[in-house]
């Protein structure tokens, strides 16, 4: 015991010494330091040259009133992850889906039109519209119009192509299965697939990144809903896909009424963590997922439960659908 006491005293002194160092204010210790000699490299070693990566333009800086052209900013590059590209079709509507932001898809599509035989006559990054040159065939003028939009999912783009002809001084879309739109979209698909996965982002097209098509909102009476900036047919198909991806059971559906009859299970929130961990009990309720058309390009998704107990989990079901959509 007598041998252990000195060891305990020594350890206590060490701890107190360490604590006193960390508790002492050392912010001005650098003022006490002395300057040492500069490091001298051996003659056979060369120092790394100092490069000014942000040089200041000193030319004409004394000339007041002289117009100076500011250079365009360099492109911002995205990550090197591969982008999924695929063709979608719903009725007569076709589009190309690509997992990249519209601001990244914009320069790729401009290059597509510039290098193609269709040419490029107009490009507006604010609206995401690109138009080809006008050609005359069978006495009628025609052109191709591309629209780049933000997709339903986050960080995704949708590319649409319309083939229009001029009739009675108006541009009218050419309909039918075997038209030029399908051919051009296939070329767009191949062009995206062959483009580098790490591409540039157009700074002038950044506003296209904010046009998301699925947004979770809240009404004035605090009821939650999903706003889909899509026509009814696409909204119905999108919700149908989201329910399947979320593994939510659909017992029945009525497309004409815009209703999915679903079964949704949720772990009881009133249980503690330990009880939830070892318990398999969960609440199962029946709900109606309603897709309602607001106008030609907007739909609203709401949830209606069949009981007061199920009403508690309406927002959870809506969040599951919104997560699968985005």
The pairing of beta strand 93-98 with beta strand 224-228: unpaired
C-alpha atoms less than 13 angstroms from C-alpha of 294 in its C-beta half-sphere: 13
Residue 75's pLDDT band (cuts 50, 70, 90): very low
| C-alpha to C-alpha distance for 326 and 151, rounded to whole angstroms | 9
Flag whether pLDDT at 76 surpasses 50.
no
Do 81-209 and 213-325 share a fold? Answer: yes
Task: Encode 231-248: b = buried (16+ Cβ within 10 Å), e = exposed.
Answer: bbebbbbbbbebbeebeb
For 104-108, the CB contacts below 8 A with 24+ separation are 104/78, 104/157, 104/199, 104/200, 104/201, 104/202, 105/148, 105/157, 105/159, 105/192, 106/148, 106/202, 106/205, 106/208, 107/75, 107/199, 107/200, 107/201, 107/202, 107/205, 108/191, 108/192, 108/195, 108/199
Q: What is the DSSP letter of 48?
A: P
| Predicted pLDDT of residue 198 | 56
More confident residue, 157 or 52: 157
Q: How far is CA 209 from CA 18, 157, 278, in A?
A: 54, 9, 44
Which pLDDT tens digit goes with each residue over 209-234?
Answer: 988 888 888 888 888 999 999 999 99
Quickly list H helices, the chain: 4-23, 102-115, 180-194, 232-245, 273-278, 308-311, 314-325
- The full DSSP string for 74-86 is PPEE-------EE
| C-alpha to C-alpha distance for 240 and 235, rounded to whole angstroms | 9
| C-alpha to C-alpha distance for 292 and 200, rounded to whole angstroms | 39
Ranked by mean pLDDT, the top range of 26-40, 130-144, 185-199, 270-284 is 130-144
More confident residue, 243 or 168: 243
| Domain 81-209 in this protein, CATH class | alpha beta
| C-alpha to C-alpha distance for 230 and 301, rounded to whole angstroms | 12
| Predicted pLDDT of residue 261 | 96
Flag whether pLDDT at 7 surpasses 70.
no
More confident residue, 11 or 192: 192
| Predicted pLDDT of residue 306 | 84
Lowest-confidence pick of 55-59, 193-197, 290-294, 322-326: 55-59
| C-alpha to C-alpha distance for 192 and 197, rounded to whole angstroms | 9
Q: Domain residue spans in the chain?
A: 81-209, 213-325
Classify domain 213-325 at the CATH superfamily level.
Outer membrane protein assembly factor BamC (3.30.310.170)
Which pLDDT tens digit goes with each residue over 276-300?
Answer: 444 455 778 899 999 999 999 999 9
Lowest-confidence pick of 88-92, 114-118, 248-252, 295-299: 88-92
| Predicted pLDDT of residue 200 | 75
Q: How far is CA 216 from CA 146, 232, 254, 307, in A?
A: 28, 17, 23, 23
Residue 124's pLDDT band (cuts 50, 70, 90): very high
Flag whether pLDDT at 35 surpasses 70.
yes
């Amino acid at each position: 015991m007598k041998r252990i006491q000195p060891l305990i005293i020594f350890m206590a002194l060490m701890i107190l010494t360490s604590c006193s160092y960390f508790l002492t204010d050392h912010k001005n210790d650098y003022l006490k330091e002395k300057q040492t000699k500069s490091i001298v490299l051996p003659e056979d070693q060369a120092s790394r040259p100092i490069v000014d990566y942000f040089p200041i333009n000193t030319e004409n800086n004394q000339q007041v009133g002289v117009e100076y052209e500011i250079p365009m900013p360099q492109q911002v590059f995205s990550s090197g992850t591969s982008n999924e590209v695929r063709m979608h079709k719903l009725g007569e509507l076709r589009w190309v889906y690509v997992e990249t932001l519209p601001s990244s898809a914009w320069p790729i599509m401009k290059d597509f039109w510039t290098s193609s035989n269709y040419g490029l006559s107009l490009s507006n990054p604010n609206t995401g519209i690109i138009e080809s040159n006008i050609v005359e065939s069978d006495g009628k003028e025609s052109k191709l119009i591309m629209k780049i939009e933000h997709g339903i999912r986050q960080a995704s783009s949708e590319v649409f192509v319309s083939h229009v002809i001029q009739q009675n001084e108006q541009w009218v879309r050419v309909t039918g299965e075997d038209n030029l739109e399908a051919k051009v979209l296939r070329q767009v698909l191949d062009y995206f697939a062959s483009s580098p996965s790490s591409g540039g982002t157009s700074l002038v097209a950044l506003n296209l990144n904010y046009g998301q098509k699925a947004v979770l909102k809240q009404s004035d009476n605090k009821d939650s809903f999903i706003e889909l900036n899509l026509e009814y047919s696409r909204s119905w198909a999108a919700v149908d896909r989201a329910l399947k991806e979320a593994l939510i059971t659909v017992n029945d559906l009525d497309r004409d009424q815009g209703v999915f009859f679903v079964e949704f299970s949720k772990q009881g929130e009133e249980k503690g963590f330990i009880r939830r961990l070892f318990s398999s009990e969960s609440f199962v309720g029946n709900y109606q997922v309603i897709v309602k058309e607001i106008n030609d390009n907007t739909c609203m998704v709401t949830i209606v439960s069949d009981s007061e107990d199920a009403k508690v989990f309406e927002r959870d079901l809506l969040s599951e659908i919104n997560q699968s959509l985005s």
